[in-house]
Amino acid sequence: MSDALQRLEEKIAYLERHVVEQDKAMLELSDILNRLKLELTGMRQRLTEPAHQSDDSIAPLDERPPHY
């Protein structure tokens, strides 16, 4: 086998491995992005909910304290 052909085969093998590694990284980043989107959606929903529905520990401003 000629040296030029062997170098080309080595480069192809390197590039194929590199593509596989990039595919794995892209899948991992896609999973992370999807999880972050879900978390962001949940946070936005919690911020837009009225206070009496989102958390019972936060009393509305017009509610009288329990000792009255």
Q: What is the DSSP string of 24-46?
A: HHHHHHHHHHHHHHHHHHHHHHH
**What per-residue confidence (pLDDT) applies to 1?**
75
- Give the mean pLDDT per block of 10 residues along the chain (68 residues): 94 98 98 98 90 55 71
**What per-residue confidence (pLDDT) applies to 68?**
59
Spatial CA neighbour of 40 closest among 50, 32, 29 = 32
Contacts of 58 (CB under 8 A, 6+ apart): 51
**What is the spatial distance between Cα 31 and Cα 52, in angstroms, rounded to a whole number?**
34
**What is the spatial distance between Cα 12 and Cα 8, in angstroms, rounded to a whole number?**
6
